[in-house]
Amino acid sequence: MDLVNRFLRYVRIDTQSADEAGVTPSTPGQMEFVKMLRTELEEMGLEDITLDEYGYLFATLPANTTRTLPTIGFIAHVDTSPDVTGKNVNPRIVENYNGTDIVLSSEDHTILSTSEFPELLRYVGNDLIVTDGHTLLGADDKAGVAEIVSAIAYLQAHPEIEHGKIRIGFNPDEEIGLGAHKFDVKLFGCDWAYTMDGGEVGELEYENFNAAAARITIKGRNVHPGYAKDKMLNSMRVATEFIQLLPKNETPESTEGYEGFYHIVGIKGGVEETTISIIVRDHSADIFRKRKELLQACVKGLNDKYGADIVTMELTDQYSNMREVIEPIMYVIDIACQAMREVGVEPEIKPIRGGTDGAQLSFKGLPCPNIFAGGVNFHSRYEFVPVQSMEKAMMTIVKIAELVAKR
State what percent of residues in the chain have pLDDT above 70: 100
Q: What is the pLDDT of residue 354?
A: 81
Res. 355: pLDDT tops 80:
no
Is 191 catalytic? The answer is no
Span 298-314, average pLDDT: 95
Residue 10 near residue 146, CB atoms below 8 Å: yes
- 120 CB contacts (<8 Å, ≥6 apart)? 97, 99, 102, 112, 113, 114
Rounded mean pLDDT, 281-298: 97
369-407 pLDDT, tens digit per residue, is 999 999 999 999 999 999 999 999 999 999 999 999 998
Catalytic residue among 79, 205, 250, 391: 79
**Position 7 pLDDT exceeds 60:** yes
Statement: residue 271 has pLDDT above 80: yes
Domains of the chain: 3-207+322-406 (3.40.630.10), 210-319 (3.30.70.360)
Percent of the chain at pLDDT above 90? 94
Average model confidence (pLDDT) across the chain: 96
C-alpha distances in Å from residue 311, one per residue of 137, 212, 279, 290: 43, 19, 17, 20
Mean pLDDT of 229-251: 96
Give the model confidence (pLDDT) of 188-204 as tens digits.
999 999 999 999 999 99
| HSE-up (13 A, CA, CB side) for residue 289 | 2
Give helix 387-406 / helix 3-11 axis angle, nearest 10°: 120
pLDDT band at 353 (very low <50, low <70, confident <90, very high): confident
- Quick check: 177 pLDDT over 90? no
Q: Is the pLDDT of residue 1 over 60?
A: no
Catalytic pick from 147, 174, 207, 282? Answer: 174
> What are the residues facing 210 on neighbouring strands?
282
pLDDT of residue 325: 95
Please tell me the distance from the alpha carbon of residue 74 to that of residue 378, in angstroms, as a whole number.
21
Judge whether 317 counts as a catalytic residue: no
CA angle in degrees (0–180, nearest 5) for 363-366-368: 90
- Per-residue pLDDT band at 319 (split at 50, 70, 90): confident
Neighbours of 9 (CB within 10 A): 14
Mean pLDDT (whole number) for 299-314: 95
Identify the H or E element spanning 151: helix 139-157
**φ/ψ (deg, to 5) at 280:** -120, 135
Please give the backbone phi and psi of residue 126, each rounded to the nearest 5 degrees, phi first.
-85, 165
